[in-house]
């Protein structure tokens, strides 16, 4: 059975045992706690919810999380980009020592102090850089700034004008007696200048500034601009040195980050224990905890708590009416287990629903293989999917994904041999000693696309029939024999009849099968028309629903046509592989570097083709499962079984 049998469990005992029992349940990792709903059981109405405080633990977790994230940026190993999370393995003895001896709050305060200093220094550096930006155009100003502030007879003004106003400005200043213009710096858009004039000429100069829309610049410093810039550069250098020292100190204590992670996981598990304890209900002397356990684990649960004298465990079988609330754990054979990932992408089954994983697995691997088509690509895909999980930590989800790709790669090798393609080269052109492989070639997808199309459509019909038969089986299991016969069996008869009739017409089968197929087809139509609306009271409503059900033939035809995407993707892979080989052959004739270029084009081209078509093939294959296949029998929406366990976010205890 792909969906594990579940049992509802009530654990009743002395109140003093609750915390130790919850801790042990976390170590066993087989019990999913369940909130006891108000009014769900009249016998529990007098039990009270425990008052459990978690504020201090949550505050500690917040501090530790902040410190961990701060120190991560100083990790000497650097940040390793990965799609999959990785945990650090820690020995249990070390873990316990860190919990008891490590002063994590002292490290947290250091991190906070360093962070505040870095922020202050960075703010100061930003302000200095802004001042440097303002000062830098005036660096070659020949006079000290204090002359710009007070003037008894001579006035010094600084200004910024658009570059196109330069000639006009020079002309107007020249027309003022005893006024001098000095261009300090020219840029693409602006000019920076100093104008010197007698105090009595101030009104004329002001009118020029207003006319030409010149920005007047005022400095309150007294030194020369160059000296001020030197001071700014010196201070920026000092800040950089201070920042470097703080970063070095942070890098030193970043070695303690693993300890902080261990403490985080300790408090994280402690918080989870408190939350599980909150699920319980209690009196002054007793408590009760409700949850779910796999049927196969119930004996282990009894065994682990047999020494608890003041404890009672009650086990109940779930009822049909609570099927939507029963958590679901999938248990498939090793060959099918990786494909649970595909089922979970859509939504796991409800407890009393069939698990589609064993049925989608062969179709998924076959459809993905047909999208790739090429046997050489199957070899590469299988090798990559086999070695990557062995060399890198990819997590549970990653292992399942690569297992799917490995199985699909092996199937692709078979499909590639059948279709006669190996890295875009026809197997028919291989040397004579490979004649046994040549004999396995059945057709060429590029030269015989019609054959490929018929195979894709035939697989689509088989896929859809499988979905309908699974729904038929579900109805039989539920005891709804009438629906199984009138709703699903009628469609099976109709489809098989249409296939036999069509094959007879194109002379694949004899006239007997043509006639027999037509009878089956008409029989199926008749059942659907007359019995689809059997629950309606009026005849008009029954016939209306029957006619609407027959309209589903058009939808069924559209569903079958959806499988032509296998043809499209398979041909795309083959054509691109051939094009890559052609381009490589063209470049191979170039002098000296021709062979090198050809090898690079072959490697990059074929790997790119594998990557793109594997991604598109995975997406479209999943779509065929989710829309066409699941649409015939599957609803999903079950609640995943997640047993309470002592599990860290950052560490694994060895």
* 166-225 residue pLDDT tens: 999 999 988 888 889 999 999 889 999 999 999 888 889 999 999 898 999 888 877 788
Q: Residue 541 is part of which domain span?
A: 357-632
Residue 100 lies in a domain: no
The C-alpha atoms of residue 460 and residue 456 are separated, in whole angstroms, by 6
H or E segment to which residue 511 belongs: helix 511-531
Pair 108, 64: CB distance under 8 Å: yes
Stretch 557-573: mean pLDDT: 94
pTM above 0.75, yes or no: yes
What phi, psi does 25 have (nearest 5°)? -60, -35
Query: Is it the case that residue 376 has pLDDT exceeding 70?
Result: yes
pLDDT over 70 at 101, yes or no: yes
Q: Residue 309: is its pLDDT beyond 70?
A: yes
State the total domains in the chain: 2
Please report which confidence band the pLDDT of residue 533 belongs to, taking 50, 70 and 90 as the band edges. Answer: confident
Distance, in Å, from the CA atom of 54 to the CA atom of 430, rounded to the nearest integer, reads 71
In our burial notation (b when 16+ CB lie closer than 10 A, e otherwise), range 265-292 reads bbbbbbebbbebbebbbbeeebbbbbbb
Pairing of strands 281-282, 286-294: antiparallel
Instruction: Choose among 178, 179, 170, 176: nearest CA to 214.
Output: 170
The model's confidence at residue 42, banded by pLDDT at 50, 70 and 90, is: low
Identify whether 4 is part of a domain: no
- Quick check: is 7 in a domain? no
C-alpha span between 652 and 582 (Å, rounded): 51
- Indicate if 361 and 215 belong to the same structural domain: no
Distance CA 182, CA 202 (A): 17
How far CA 512 is from CA of 494, 517, 525, in Å, comes to 17, 8, 20
Q: How far is CA 538 from CA 475, 524, 534, 552, in A?
A: 26, 22, 9, 22
Residue 369 domain-assigned? yes
At residue 82, the pLDDT reads 43
Q: Is 245 exposed, middle or buried (0-12, 13-18, 19+ CB in 10 A)?
A: exposed
- Compute the average pLDDT of residues 406-432: 91
HSE, CB side, 13 Å, CA atoms: give it for residue 192.
15
Residue 550's pLDDT band, with cuts at 50, 70 and 90, is confident
Please report whether residue 427 resides in a domain: yes
- Is 508 a domain residue? yes
DSSP of 254-266: GGGHHHHHHHHHH
Q: What is the three-class DSSP state of 327?
A: strand
Q: DSSP letter at 649? A: S
Neighbours of 574 (CB within 10 A): 25
Task: Please give the pLDDT value at position 243.
Answer: 94
Question: What CATH number corresponds to the domain at position 161?
Answer: 3.30.70.100
Give a yes or no: residue 245 inside a domain. Answer: no
H-type alpha helices, 6-84: 18-28, 55-72
Listed residues 223, 249, 275: the one ending a domain: 223
| 80 inside domain | no
In the listed set 223, 242, 263, which residue is the last one of a domain according to the structure?
Answer: 223
Looking at 223, 243, 265, the residue that finishes a domain is: 223
- CA pseudo-torsion sign 344, 345, 350, 352: negative
Residue 611's pLDDT is 94
Q: For residue 555, how many other CB atoms are within 10 A of its CB?
A: 10
- Average pLDDT over the chain, rounded to an integer: 89
Nearest-angstrom CA–CA distance, 568 and 449: 10
């Amino acid at each position: 059975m792909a969906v594990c049998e579940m049992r509802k469990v009530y654990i009743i005992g002395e109140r003093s045992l609750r915390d130790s029992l919850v801790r042990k349940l976390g170590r066993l990792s087989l019990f999913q706690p369940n909130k006891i709903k108000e009014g769900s059981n009249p016998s529990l109405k007098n039990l009270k919810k425990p008052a459990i405080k978690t504020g201090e633990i949550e505050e500690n977790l917040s501090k530790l999380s902040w410190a961990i994230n701060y120190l991560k940026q100083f990790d000497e190993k650097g940040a390793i980009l990965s799609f999959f999370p990785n945990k650090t393995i820690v020995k249990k003895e070390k873990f316990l020592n860190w919990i008891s001896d490590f002063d994590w709050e002292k490290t947290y305060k250091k991190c906070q102090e360093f962070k505040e200093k870095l922020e202050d220094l960075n703010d100061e550096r930003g302000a200095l850089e802004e001042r440097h930006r303002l000062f830098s155009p005036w660096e070659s100003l020949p006079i000290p700034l204090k002359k710009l502030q007070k003037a008894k007879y001579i006035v010094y003004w600084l200004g910024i004008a658009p570059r196109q106003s330069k000639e006009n400005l020079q002309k107007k200043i020249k027309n003022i007696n005893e006024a001098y213009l000095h261009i300090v710096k020219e840029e693409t858009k602006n000019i920076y200048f100093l104008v010197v004039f007698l105090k009595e000429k101030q009104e004329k100069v002001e009118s020029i500034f207003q006319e030409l829309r010149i920005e007047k610049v005022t400095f309150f410093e007294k030194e020369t601009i160059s000296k001020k810039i030197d001071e700014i550069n010196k201070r920026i250098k000092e800040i950089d040195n201070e920042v470097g020292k703080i970063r070095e100190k942070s890098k030193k204590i970043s070695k303690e980050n693993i300890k902080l992670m261990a403490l985080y996981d300790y408090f994280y598990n402690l918080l989870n224990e408190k939350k599980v304890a909150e699920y319980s209900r209690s009196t002054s002397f007793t408590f009760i905890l409700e949850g779910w356990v796999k049927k196969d684990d119930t004996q282990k649960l009894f065994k682990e708590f047999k020494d608890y004298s003041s404890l009672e465990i009650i086990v109940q079988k779930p009822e049909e009416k609570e099927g939507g609330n029963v958590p679901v754990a999938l248990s498939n054979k090793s060959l099918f287990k990786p494909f649970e990932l595909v089922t979970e992408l859509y939504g796991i089954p409800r407890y009393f629903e069939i698990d589609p994983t064993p049925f989608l697995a062969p179709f998924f691997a076959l459809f993905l293989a047909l999208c790739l088509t090429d046997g050489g690509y199957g070899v590469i895909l299988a090798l990559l999917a086999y070695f990557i999980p062995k060399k890198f930590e990819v997590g549970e989800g990653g292992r399942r994904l690569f297992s799917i790709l490995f199985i699909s790669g092996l199937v692709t090798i078979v499909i590639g041999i059948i279709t006669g393609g190996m890295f875009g080269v026809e197997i028919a052109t291989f040397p004579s000693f490979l004649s046994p492989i040549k004999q396995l070639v059945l057709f060429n997808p590029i030269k015989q696309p019609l054959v490929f199309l018929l195979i894709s459509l035939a697989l689509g019909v088989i896929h859809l029939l499988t979905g309908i038969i699974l729904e038929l089986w579900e109805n039989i299991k539920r005891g709804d024999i009438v629906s199984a016969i009138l709703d699903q069996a009628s469609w099976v008869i109709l489809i098989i009849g249409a296939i036999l009739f069509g094959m007879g017409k194109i002379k694949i089968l004899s006239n007997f099968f043509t006639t027999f197929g037509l009878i089956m087809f008409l029989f199926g139509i008749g059942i659907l028309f007359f019995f689809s609306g059997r629950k309606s009271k009026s005849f008009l409503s029954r016939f209306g629903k029957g006619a609407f059900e027959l309209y589903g033939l058009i939808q069924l035809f559209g569903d079958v046509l959806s499988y032509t995407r296998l043809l499209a993707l398979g041909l795309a892979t083959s054509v691109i592989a051939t094009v890559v080989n052609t381009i490589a052959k063209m470049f191979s004739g170039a002098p000296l570097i021709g062979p090198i270029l050809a090898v690079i084009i072959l490697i990059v081209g074929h790997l790119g083709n594998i990557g793109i078509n594997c991604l598109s093939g995975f997406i479209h294959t999943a779509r065929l499962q989710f829309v066409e296949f699941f649409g015939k029998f599957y609803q999903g929406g079950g609640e995943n079984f997640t047993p309470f366990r002592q599990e860290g976010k950052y560490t694994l205890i060895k």
